Structure formats: C-alpha cells, structure tokens
Amino acid sequence: MIRTFVLLLSGMWAMAWAQASTNFERRLAVDPHGTVEITNVSGKIDVRGWDRSEVEVRGDVGSGVQRVDVTTDHGRTDVRVIAPNHAGGGIDTDLHIRVPHDSQLEISTVTAEVEIAEVEGAQMLRSVSGTIKSEIYEKNAEIKTVSGDVVVRGHRKDTSMHITTISGNIRIDRAAGDLDATTVSGDMTVRLDPSRNVRVRTTSGDLGFEGRLAKGASLNAETVSGDLTVRAIPEAGIVYEVGTFSGDIKDCMGVEAERVSRYAPGKRLTGSQGAAGPDESQVRLKTMSGDVELCDKS
Amino acid sequence: MSGERQRISSLRDLPRDIAPPRDLWQGIEARIAAEPRGVAAKGGAEWARRAQGNRWRILAAAAVVAALAFGIWIGRTVLPVPGKPVTTATGLSASNAGAGAPEALHAALVMDPKYAQERAALLRSLEAKIAALPPDSRAKVMASLQTIQDSIHDLEAALGRDPSNALLQELLVNTYQDEMRVLTAVHEAGNAEGI
C-alpha cells in the first residue's frame, strides 16, 4: 500500500517536473572572435568552446520564464533568459551553450552556477550567490561574486586576473601572470606558475600562496586575522618583508623573526636570498593577528 | 715676667677692644662694592632664561590645545557623526567610528568629504539592497560586514595601544577600503536582482 503510494507520488512529481520545464534549442552563425553575453537569473550556465563559428544554446527552461532570446549582431551574441518581474518561481533555467573557442564571455547571474571550459577569450563574469568555475588561458579574466565561490583553473599561460568576492572562497590552480584578488571572510588558495604581480587580501579568511616568482615579480599578501602561508620560489633573488602585530612568524630560511619594539607587540622578518638586482622578486606579507609561514623552497 | 702678666680671674679682666692684627675690611668693602653689578647681571640672565622657558611651555601648551581643537573640529565637521548618524539594521553607522575609537585617527583616515558622502549614501540604501539579495547571500553578506566591523574595531584597539604602528595603520586603511568595496558590491548586486 505504502509502496504504491510512493510510486504514485513519484509519478506525479515526474509529470509535474516535465510540465514545469521545457526544452529549448537554438543555433546561430556568429563571429568566431566575437563576444557572447549570457544573462540568466537562476539555474545553471554551462559554457564550452568548440571549433565552429556557431553558438548553440540548449536548455531546460523554467515554467516561470517568458522566453529565451538568442540574437547576434556585429560580433555580439546575446543569450538572455527573460523572466517577468516579480516572477514567483519556476525561473530556474539550465543553459548548455557552445561558443567558438576565441569568444569573449560576459556572463551575469544571480544564483545560477557558472561553469566554463575551453573558451580562450577574455572573461567578465558576475554572480551574486552562484559558484563560478572557469578555465582560463591568456586573456584577462574579471570575476565578481557576492557570496559565491570562485574556482579558476589555468594553463600556466601569462594572464591577468581580477577576482573579488565578499564571502566566497577563491581557489586558483595552474594559472600564471598577474593576480589581484580579495575576499572578506572566504579562504583563498592560489597556485601560480609563475607569478608576476600579485596582490591578494582577505579580512578573516586564511590565505595560501604557492608557486614560482618570475624575475622581478612582486607578491603582496595581506590579512587582518587570517593566517598566511606562502611558499614562493624565486627564479632569481628574493627580498622579503613580513610583519604581524600579534601573530607568529615561521620561515624555512633559518632567519629569526625579531620584535619590532621592546615596548610594544609586533614581530617582523626581513631579509634577502640570492643575487640582488632588478631581477629580484619582492615579497611583502602583512597581518594583524594571523600567523605567517614563509618559505622560498619547494 | 710675672709683673707683665696679669692674673685674669673673670671676663671683666679682659680688654674690651682688641685691634685685629691686620685690617681685612678694605678688601671686603671693595668686593662688596664690586659684587652688586655681577650678581644682578647673573640673576637677570637666570630670570630671562626662565622666562624664555616658560614662554616655550606656554607656546607648546597652546599648540597642543590648538591641535586638539582642530582634530575635534575635523572629526565633528567631516564625519557625519554627531548630529543624526545614519544607522542601519546591519549595525553599521555612517559615523565610521567604532566604540572608543580615537577620533583624531578617524579624522586623519576618513578626511575626504567625498568618501564620507558616498559611504553615507551607500549605507542609506544598504538595507533595501540586502533585502533584495537571495536569502543565503543575505546572511553571508551580513556576516561579512560584521567581520569587517569587528576587524576595524580590533585594529583601532590595537592602534590605541601602539598608535604609531605603520602596519596597523595600513591594515586599517585597507579595511576601510574593503568595507567600501563590499558596500558597492552589495549595491550592484541589489541592482542586478532585476537583470
């Protein structure tokens, strides 16, 4: 009896789901080096690059959605999920989009999860609470979220990344080049190989950096209360300056941190390794109450 | 011998005057006559030195009072604190001042009137913008703003113990910038709700 009831309920749910979302499919010829702009409030945005000069959009469209517009004009392709204002629900739309490899991407969402792979153009991605996972190549990436996590995977090619989130975590793997990243309460883990100009900051989250420092590179990492763990291997010499007000400093260079003053708290560690000159990398680490660990060896 | 020597049996037997073997008075008189000018000159220099010292002390005290007055004036004029602070349900205030925060420090850090105006404007619309966020984001943003406020408070408390600490000053300025960045991001995200 109970089994029948459960089966009946499952069947009703499946029918309701089938009615709630409708399939959508559209394909357009586009500029292979153009810009693709995608707007979807909630659901999922999955973008993959391919060899064709076409944009293909497939989707499960929520019942509350009015329509999905796909247009292209003068190298700019627009994929927009249109939901009426104050739509009560049913606007979750999963989009699976194929774009030319060299496309630039501009994506805006509120809660949708964003996943990007094999797209080599510049990326400008914005989300409120959705997680953003992206694969990047040589072109710039600008990523902003409020509470969503950011996961970036690179190809060890020089690029420039600008990533900000309020409470989300940031994780960057196998990227290279310049990075400016901040999060307030999220944790940040960065692996760059090699890095050039890096500015990373958290307020309360822990911050970890690992990777090679190119010749003349600079690494500035800062937290208020989060711990800092930095393993930075310089291609040439390295000059480092570490400061903490009430935390501890550890290093693998065999240098002892010293007290800033006899009368006030605070420790600092300064020094250099290797040949001095313009190829020297500079590492500056600062925190108020976090502990710091610095190592210049792998 | 015994005739020359009189037997002295009482004080009365002693002569009333005895002339000194040599007259010292002339030398003493000459020194007294010469001394008044020297002593007066010495005393005058001492007095002048003291007077100059007092003048510096008065000037220094006046400078301290002026600096304090200027700091308080800046704190009260630049920061929209004292009149009607713009407060929100998030607990943030347009005053930018944590409890017990050194006012002069705030005056120095948040001197730019444009900054103060923009911050006050963002705070006014903060509640509406936060209300427009998805519920899970709302809670996280509130927690993050609280984290920033706590950090500012901690940094200011630490600066209270070590006011000249450059590391703390830099972290505090950067944390204020973080707060501004969060307020701006919330504002943009609130607008993005209607994308």
Task: Flag whether residue A111 sits within 8 Å of chain B, measured between CB atoms.
Answer: yes
pLDDT band at B76 (very low <50, low <70, confident <90, very high): very low
Distance from CA of B188 to the nearest CA of A (A): 9
Q: For residue B1, how many other CB atoms are within 10 A of its CB?
A: 4
Q: For residue A194, how many other CB atoms are within 10 A of its CB?
A: 19
Contact B144 A167 (CB under 8 A): yes
Task: Flag whether residue B98 sits within 8 Å of chain A, measured between CB atoms.
Answer: no
At residue A108's C-alpha, the angle toward residues A193 and A195, to 5°, is 10
Q: What is the pLDDT of residues B48-59, one digit of tens each?
A: 666 566 666 666
pLDDT values of chain A reduced to their tens digit, one per residue, 298 residues? 566 655 555 555 554 554 467 999 999 999 999 999 999 999 999 999 999 999 999 999 999 999 999 999 999 999 999 988 765 678 899 999 999 999 999 999 999 999 999 999 999 999 999 999 999 999 999 999 999 999 999 999 999 999 999 999 999 999 999 999 999 999 999 999 999 999 999 999 999 999 999 999 999 999 999 999 999 999 999 999 999 999 999 999 999 999 988 888 899 999 998 888 889 999 999 999 999 999 998 7
Return the structure tokens found at A236.
């040439």
Task: Flag whether residue A243 sits within 8 Å of chain B, measured between CB atoms.
Answer: yes
- Is residue B86 scored above 80 in pLDDT? no
B173's enclosing H/E stretch is helix B166-192
User: Could you give the CA distance from residue A51 to residue A54 in angstroms, rounded to a whole number?
Assistant: 9
Q: Among partner residues A167, A261, A286, which is closest to B140 by beta-carbon distance?
A: A167
Main-chain phi, psi angles of A11, to 5 degrees: -60, -45
pLDDT of residue B3: 45
A-chain CB neighbours of B195 within 8 Å are: 39, 41, 108-110
pLDDT band at B93 (very low <50, low <70, confident <90, very high): low
A-chain CB neighbours of B154 within 8 Å are: 224-225, 288-289
- Residue of A42, A69, A86, A110 for testing the chain B interface, max B β-carbons within 10 Å: A110
A-chain CB neighbours of B168 within 8 Å are: 245, 288
pLDDT of residue B133: 86
Region of B138 on the Ramachandran plot (φ > 0 left; ψ -120 to 50 alpha; else beta): alpha
Contact B101, B79 (CB under 8 A): no
Which range, of A249-263, B61-75, B79-93, B155-169, averages the lowest pLDDT? B79-93
Q: For residue B15, how many other CB atoms are within 10 A of its CB?
A: 6
Q: What is the pLDDT of residues A74-133, one digit of tens each?
A: 999 999 999 887 656 788 999 999 999 999 999 999 999 999 999 999 999 999 999 999
Contact A146 B133 (CB under 8 A): yes
Contact A67, A137 (CB under 8 A): no
- Using CA coordinates, name the residue in chain B closest to A226: B151
pLDDT of residue B83: 38
Contact B135, A254 (CB under 8 A): no
Task: Flag whether residue A282 sits within 8 Å of chain B, measured between CB atoms.
Answer: no
Contact A166 B151 (CB under 8 A): no
- Residue of B122, B145, B161, B182 for testing the chain A interface, max A β-carbons within 10 Å: B182
pLDDT of residue B161: 87
A-chain CB neighbours of B137 within 8 Å are: 128-129, 146-147
Report CA dihedral (B35, B36, B39, B45) to the nearest 10 degrees.
-140
User: Could you give the CA distance from residue A35 to residue A48 in angstroms, rounded to a whole number?
Assistant: 14
Contact B185 A146 (CB under 8 A): yes
Contact A203, A224 (CB under 8 A): yes
A-chain CB neighbours of B136 within 8 Å are: 129, 147
Main-chain phi, psi angles of A5, to 5 degrees: -60, -45
B-chain CB neighbours of A81 within 8 Å are: none
Distance from CA of A99 to the nearest CA of B (A): 22
Between B164 and A75, name the one with better pLDDT.
A75
Task: Flag whether residue A126 sits within 8 Å of chain B, measured between CB atoms.
Answer: yes
pLDDT band at B108 (very low <50, low <70, confident <90, very high): low
Contact A286 B154 (CB under 8 A): no
- Enumerate residues 6+ apart whose C-beta is below 8 A from A192: A172, A175, A176, A177, A179, A198, A209, A210, A211, A212
The CA-atom distances, in angstroms, between B124 and each of B6, B66, B130, B133, B187 are 118, 35, 11, 16, 11
- Interface predicted TM-score (ipTM): 0.80
Q: Among partner residues A129, A246, A260, which is closest to B137 by beta-carbon distance?
A: A129
pLDDT of residue A84: 81
pLDDT of residue B37: 57
Q: What DSSP state is assigned to residue B93?
A: B
Contact A224 B189 (CB under 8 A): no
User: Could you give the CA distance from residue A114 to residue A146 in angstroms, rounded to a whole number?
Assistant: 14
Contact A60, A21 (CB under 8 A): yes
User: Could you give the CA distance from residue A170 to residue A206 in angstroms, rounded to a whole number?
Assistant: 11
Helices B113-131 and B135-161: crossing angle in degrees, nearest 10, is 150
Contact A166 B195 (CB under 8 A): no
- Using CA coordinates, name the residue in chain B closest to A131: B137
What single string gives the DSSP state of each residue in A204-231?
SS-EEEEEEEEEEEEEEEEESSS-EEEE
Q: Hey, CA dihedral for A223, A228, A233, A237, is it positive or negative?
A: positive
- Using CA coordinates, name the residue in chain B closest to A147: B137
Distance from CA of B55 to the nearest CA of A (A): 33
Distance from CA of A159 to the nearest CA of B (A): 24
Return the structure tokens found at B35.
């001394």
A-chain CB neighbours of B134 within 8 Å are: 110-111, 128-129
Return the structure tokens found at B126.
């903060």
Contact B143 A164 (CB under 8 A): no
Distance from CA of B148 to the nearest CA of A (A): 7
**pTM for the predicted model, two decimal places:** 0.75
Q: If you search the block for the tokens 């011998």, which residue do you land on?
A: B1
Q: b/e string for A263-288 if b means 16 or more Cβ within 10 A? A: eeebbebeebbeeeeeebbbbbbbbb
User: Could you give the CA distance from residue A92 to residue A243 in angstroms, rounded to a whole number?
Assistant: 48
